[in-house]
Amino acid sequence: MGWVPDEWSIDHDTLIDAGGYVQKLKLYPYFDAAHYILTCISVRQDLGIEGISFSRKHPFSCWLSCMLMSFAGSFLSCFLLGEPIISPLKQHNDVILGSIVWYLIFYSPFDIVFKLANWFPVKIVLSVLKEIQRTHKIAAGVKHAGRIYPESYLVQIMVGVAKGAGSGVVKIVEQLARGTWIPTNHEILRPSFTTKACVIASLVFTLQRHSMYVTAPHDLVYLCVVGFFIYFKLTSLCLAVHDVLMPIENVLCAVFMGGIIDAFAKAVDATKQAIHSNRVMSEEEILANEREKMLKKKKAALQQQMSNGTDKKNN
């Protein structure tokens, strides 16, 4: 008798069917709306306490910032693949929905929509919907890049990451649209856990697509990636654990990126300095130091005499 009752067990086929069902979900309008809501909230929070006043003074810039962030993954993937960058805006339904969400987040009466969306239970639901949409975009990006560049695994991974976490890169352009720019604060220099997770998901989808090392059915892999994103997103919201990969990165960097060698070199230099400071000086070194002191005294005396002679002449 096991710890889990037999009626709770899930067989392999059920998981595959569940993955296929999740994969076939229609993203418009509910999943897309959740993405737009969280994106507009992030733009408003990035504006800080001046978010409301900025939206009143510069409504077009505010709207453009939200649209850039809402369609950031599509913009970036089109840029990487050499496709028209404006093509993500060809679906007027998406633009209208995103604009409605933007208006409600910034201009709703008594700020009720923004407060409701930031309410913790609602935010959890919105985050779950967004992570499902993120997985769909990554899988679609890898598949689309695989058709154009079937032999380039790197391009497929890059497009998948751009689809899932393009907002971090496009944020520089979004900040320029509203008059601010922080060049040292972007995903290339300081990648977030979301970007790292998108890299892992894109790698898994790419390997599974080419049947390399990942031989499980696509629906099952898709379901596992969805669960991966949802689990760590809920962990971040509920337990404030924002980057679970940081300890692993620190160990790998210490081993393979010169961390151990640099630490060893510093230890050797510190040991040499300690030995040199505690070492007893020889007679020759003592005499050399005394000679140097005497020369300094003679130079100082000569300079003083010359200055006194000059003063006398002037007088």
Please give the Cα distance from 61 to 175 (Å, whole number). 10
Contact 105, 114 (CB under 8 A): yes
Per-residue pLDDT of the chain (315 residues; tens, 9 = 90+): 455 566 656 677 888 888 889 999 999 999 999 999 999 999 999 888 888 999 999 999 999 999 999 999 999 999 999 999 999 999 899 999 999 999 999 999 999 999 999 999 999 999 999 999 999 999 999 999 999 999 999 999 999 999 999 998 898 888 888 887 777 777 888 888 999 999 999 999 999 988 878 888 899 999 999 999 999 999 999 988 888 888 888 888 878 887 778 877 887 787 777 676 665 566 676 677 778 888 888 888 777 777 665 555 454
* Structure tokens, 71: 């369609």
Q: Taking Cα atoms as reference points, which of 210, 188, 168 lies closest to residue 69?
A: 168
* Cα angle: 154, vertex 160, 165; to 5 degrees: 120
Q: Measure the CA dihedral 239/242/248/253, to 10°.
A: -150
CA geometry: angle 198, 203, 208, nearest 5 deg: 125
Distances (CA, A) of 183 to 174, 178, 241, 248, 305: 12, 14, 26, 27, 59
What is the Cα–Cα distance from 179 to 303, expressed in whole angstroms? 61
78 vs 160: CA distance, rounded Å: 12
For every residue of 215-238, which 3-state class applies, written as one string? CCCHHHHHHHHHHHHHHHHHHHHH
Specify the DSSP class assigned to residue 121.
H
Question: Is the pTM above the cut of 0.85?
Answer: no
